């Protein structure tokens, strides 16, 4: 059961974000998808996507049973997905490094650190025949990036729909979008679908970037994130992760 302190903190946070988004709306275009060729760091990630794929495949093959279900960490996810349908490998949560999992992905982390103002990073794994219900992201000051890591052979069988604009993931290919538009995703194939999921502070006037950095730090200290990170740490201890990389 959520405490009164938790509820008050969540209400104040949502109210602050509501007003910040109104201000951001005055300075940015209200685009859904973004031209990946205009974001400098994306080409570097695509050029080295095979390295990220190798590290993921090694972990996935040898440590599959240790991969947490997103609903185990955040009960709010039950609103959009069924238990065991959406697994994830967290590397960063609002700029907080998840050391035990991140230790398996040293080369991936080197690439992530070339991204200005990234906040949250994880491998997002959709199980076969899964749907994530319609929802919106937390804050318009962030943009969301997906890099195709392990996409079903029939890539048209999985995708994301944002305001009736559909994108189908492909291995080694990127998409950037504003996730504060209502969107839903699905995997209708017989294979899992994995993308590298990264939130980063969107390009904006400097004062809005500074506010977003402050907000990221504040969220990282909130009860919601602290509890989530605690659950991840407990999951890591209980699952007996074994270091397999050099």
Is the pLDDT higher at 199 or at 244? 199
Helices assigned H by DSSP within 36-116 = 40-47, 49-63, 70-73, 99-102, 106-112
Q: How many domains does the chain have?
A: 1
Stretch (H or E) spanning 149: strand 142-150
Per the domain annotation, does 105 fall within a domain? Answer: yes
Runs of H (alpha helix) within 94-158: 99-102, 106-112
d(CA 105, CA 58): 10
- The per-residue pLDDT for range 41-91, each reduced to its tens digit, is 999 999 999 999 999 999 999 988 889 999 888 888 889 999 999 999 999
Name the H helices within the chain: 4-24, 40-47, 49-63, 70-73, 99-102, 106-112, 206-220, 223-239
User: pTM for the whole thing?
Assistant: 0.92
What residue numbers bound the domain in which 129 lies?
4-239
- For 152-191, how does the pLDDT look when each residue is reduced to its tens digit (9 = 90+)? 999 999 999 999 999 999 999 999 999 999 999 999 999 9
What does the pLDDT look like over 209-218, one tens digit per residue? 999 999 999 9
How many angstroms separate the CA atoms of 243 and 23, rounded? 45
The CATH number for 207's domain is 2.60.120.330
- Residue 245 falls inside a structural domain: no
In a domain, 246, yes or no: no
Q: What are phi and psi of 173, to 5 degrees?
A: -110, 155
157 found inside a domain: yes
- Tell me, yes or no, whether 183 lies in a domain: yes
Domain assignment of residue 143, yes or no: yes
138 within domain boundaries: yes
Q: Is residue 244 part of a domain?
A: no
Higher pLDDT, 64 or 234: 64
């Amino acid at each position: 059961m959520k405490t009164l302190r938790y509820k008050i903190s969540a209400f104040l946070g949502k109210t602050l974000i509501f007003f910040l988004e109104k201000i951001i709306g005055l300075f940015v275009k209200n685009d859904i998808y973004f031209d990946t060729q205009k974001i400098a760091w994306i080409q570097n990630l695509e050029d080295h996507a095979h390295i990220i794929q190798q590290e993921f495949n090694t972990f996935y093959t040898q440590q599959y049973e240790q991969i947490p279900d997103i609903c185990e960490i955040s009960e709010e996810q039950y609103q959009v997905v069924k238990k065991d349908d959406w697994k994830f490998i967290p590397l960063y949560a609002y700029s907080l490094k998840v050391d035990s999992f991140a230790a398996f992905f040293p080369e991936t982390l080197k690439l992530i650190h070339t991204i200005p103002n990234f906040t949250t990073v994880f491998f997002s794994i959709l199980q076969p025949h899964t749907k994530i219900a319609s929802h919106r992201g937390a804050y318009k000051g962030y943009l969301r990036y997906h890099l195709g890591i392990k996409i079903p052979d029939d890539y048209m069988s999985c995708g994301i729909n944002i305001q009736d604009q559909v994108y189908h993931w492909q291995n080694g290919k990127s998409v950037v979008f504003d996730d504060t538009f209502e969107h839903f995703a699905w995997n209708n194939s017989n294979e899992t679908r994995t993308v590298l999921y990264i939130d980063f502070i969107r390009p904006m006037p400097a004062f809005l970037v500074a506010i977003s950095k402050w907000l990221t730090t504040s969220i990282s200290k909130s009860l919601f994130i602290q509890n989530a990170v605690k659950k991840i740490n407990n999951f890591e201890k209980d699952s007996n992760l074994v270091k397999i990389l050099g």
